[in-house]
A and B are shown apart, each in its own frame.
Chain A
Amino acid sequence: MRQAEFDSANPLRSPLDRRLPRVAGPCALVIFGVTGDLSRKKLMPAVYDLANRGLLPPSFALVGFARRDYSGEDFAQEVHDSVREYSRTEFREDVWAQLAQGFRFVAGDFSDDTAFDALAATVTALANEQGTGGNTAFYLSIPPGMFPLVVQQLKRSGLASDDRGGWRRVVVEKPFGHDLTSAQELNQVLDEVFPSGSIFRIDHYLGKETVQNLLALRFANTLYEPIWNSNYIDHVQITMAEDIGIGSRAGYYDGIGAARDVIQNHLLQLMALTAMEEPVSFAAEHVRLEKEKVLASVVLPEDLDAHTARGQYGPGWQGGEEVIGYMQEANIPPTSTTETYAAITLHVDTRRWAGVPFYLRTGKRLGRRVSEIAVVFKRAPHLPFATTDTEELGSNTLVIRVQPDEGITMKFGSKVPGTQMEVRDVTMDFAYGDSFTESSPEAYERLILDVLLGDPPLFPRHEEVEMSWQILDPILQNWAANGKPEEYDPGTWGPASSDEMLARDGRVWRRP
């Protein structure tokens, strides 16, 4: 909305002129924790890629804040190196040189008042030197435990107030708390200083091209809407699998586990997008409203033990390599009951979805790295063939492959060539990966640009976060009261209990 007003003031911009890219307005991006992994591997390269694609304004500035004692040049060099290594687009020195003009670095501790005063001075100076107009986005690439401190510092130093003109936005990454109470506390911390419209919760999954294409698939076509309901859909499986273990992330992962790490944010968001009604428009508020309605109508199964499953990867061989189990990973306490695999059953209590279970699963050390939404249709009510003809016929399935190999697969029955009537499953494929990878931007590029444009349709609001915790909390409590998760072999598709969970409903997991 803001963007529209902004545009109309500029005589050179017109909605008819669609060649001109949506370039962010003048602004500064302040990154806290700028020396961290995420910042080096994802954020900085994404900023560079945006600049390379001409989507950042000439007056863009980037301010790094971290504890390390860098000079401005050291900082530029450090960013230069990581951008060279990780950027998606070709590295061009002239683009880099232009971008680096707007780089600043402020060293300091989060509890250090003078450092924040120096930061405030830097940001103010940039308004004139670079022409940022005072517009500032704060990216908190730091552990959530630090949020209260940093946010209070932003308030104290006057950085958070927009009295001196321009907008202020704050960007936070998951995890958004570890249960409902902590999520609410976190939100309070942010809410005290920033208005809710200025808080951007980044879920990099939602920046994926395929996730956005899900909306196009559902609402730009006539083909799917008539069958997108319980009359035709048998159930939905949403999977996010990783083939790696936790690596060195024990400190973060232990005590959190697969459900909190992935289901609460990614999978429930994907489910909401799959199940939601058509929004009035694609304006942020309308899309959120529909997502919230889905989350509000979720009901849990009565018997949580029978309809959820969890596991922990054990030691073994995976893809020709011997790997250690979760309990053998560094810094995992022997008493740990953290799950590395979680599967849950949810129902959406609406007319559209009555009786259609949504199965959500995620895990580490599974068969391969894959994320997908599989919509499994009911079998035809009557088959005018002999049963032997259709023995090999499965259910029609529409699979939205989120990553890797983004695209859409449709599985349906087809006659096998020959004199006999024999029907077998075949697939029809649309692959983004084959053809559009060249220009398909990284999720972070899209999300950072959306933050700078102030266009948040893909960002979950705190209501959604809290609703997700409301869904997950009873399951987590049930698990906590029931001892250790079941061990599963690495490189498989999870513990036996998750297969039993589907078998109870007469269904099977799709092998992704």
Chain B
Amino acid sequence: MTTRLENTTAGEIVRTINAERHRIGATATGMVLTLIIVTDEENQSDATRAASYSAMEHPCRIITLIPRPGRVEPQLDANIDVGDTMGPGETVRLRLRGALADHAASVALPLLLPDTPVVVWWPTRAPEVPAEDPVGSLAQRRITDVAAEHHPLHSLLTRQTGYVAGDTDLAWTRTTVWRSMLAAALDLPFARITGVDVRCERSNPSGVLLQAWLHNCLKVPVQLHRSQGPGITDVTIHTADGPIELSRPDGRTARLSRPNVNAHDVPLPRRDLRDLIGEELRRLDPDDTYAEALAAVEVPKPARRKRAARKPATESQGDSDA
């Protein structure tokens, strides 16, 4: 059941949550974290739903902050869901009107669960340095998504300069299934690796991160090529015995082929938001591997080439000169 509070305060919201819990006989024990979502009207519904789904795995209090700046009197409106519809957690959707929109942290702070980790997630536009944002500074872990921003690769560079331990990005989370499958492919003996080709959609930040990660791990030139997508489509690891290739043209099933062994089809579906958020909430310590991959990202300045798209463009990484 949704409780609506108009023109309210954080104190009253806390009292309402507690009363509601008391009424349904539930206790607030077992909640492991507070998740703050900072978003706009357009995205709040999808983001909150994805987060409450992951609350099945990580029971949490979800606070969705929806700033509505404008020339109106500052006002705080809240929609509170406790129990049933939103899984075992509880959801508080807050609309911050007028000048209050600039003081979101003051509203969020009293609502944090005591002595448990805080995670902030910006499903669309994130601040330049998430850790220095007033809301971001409340959290141990800050989740951004450069793929949802206007210029993903440009934003990726912003993440790189603004990185503080505890930052993470869903573009990186999207590479996990690829990284896992590639690692499994190299569990079998393989010959010396000479180079890698990664193919992905234009301006795909996950492809760029995957390229950087492969370069960090394998210490060989890793070339990035454009494809029609969706997302990342191919990774070819060239070895002295021939290529080990993982290719996923349809966004669902990939084919893994390697020298001297029959090719296999492996499921490698693109994952939805709730899967990605679920994975993010599983670990709350800084992700060093992401930090290293992000640091190694080199995005070429968006070269405004005129009609040069006949040949697939190549963006290079590492010691090669392509």
Contact = CB atoms under 8 A, between A and B. Distances in A.
Contacts of A101: 264-265
Interface stretch (A21-29, A31-39, A295-303): A21-29
A58 B283 contact: no
Determine which residue in B59, B188, B279, B288 has the highest number of CB atoms from chain A within 10 A of its CB, and name it: B188
Determine which residue in A25, A131, A431 has the highest number of CB atoms from chain B within 10 A of its CB, and name it: A131
Nearest to A18: B283
B88 A58 contact: no
Interface residues of B, number: 44
B30 A434 contact: yes
Contacts of A436: 57
Nearest to B280: A19
A128 B258 CA distance: 12
B57 A58 contact: no
B195 to A, nearest CB: 14
Contacts of A54: 177, 180-181
B24 interface: no
A129 B262 contact: yes
Interface string B56-92: 1111000000000000000000000000000010000
Nearest to A97: B265
Nearest to A432: B30
B30 A431 contact: yes
A10 B56 contact: no
B154 to A, nearest CB: 25
A212 B216 CA distance: 35
B183 A430 contact: no
Contact of A58 (B181, B193, B260): B181
B186 interface: yes
A177 to B, nearest CB: 37
Contact of B264 (A17, A59, A438): A59
A20 B176 contact: yes
Interface string A87-127: 00000101101100100000000000000000000000000
A98 B267 contact: yes
A12 B56 contact: no
A94 B255 CA distance: 12
A11 B59 CA distance: 36
Nearest to B283: A18
A14 interface: yes
A19 B287 contact: yes
B253 interface: yes
B187 interface: yes
A6 interface: yes
B185 interface: yes
A384 B78 CA distance: 48
Determine which residue in B30, B218, B253, B267 has the highest number of CB atoms from chain A within 10 A of its CB, and name it: B267
B322 interface: no
B176 A131 contact: no
29 contacts: A12-B217, A13-B186, A16-B288, A17-B289, A19-B283, A20-B183, A23-B180, A23-B183, A23-B184, A26-B187, A58-B184, A58-B185, A59-B261, A94-B252, A94-B269, A98-B267, A128-B262, A130-B264, A131-B264, A133-B188, A429-B29, A434-B59, A435-B30, A435-B32, A435-B56, A435-B57, A435-B58, A435-B88, A438-B57
> Which 3 A-B pairs have CB atoms at the shortest separation, nearest pair first?
A131-B261, A12-B183, A435-B59
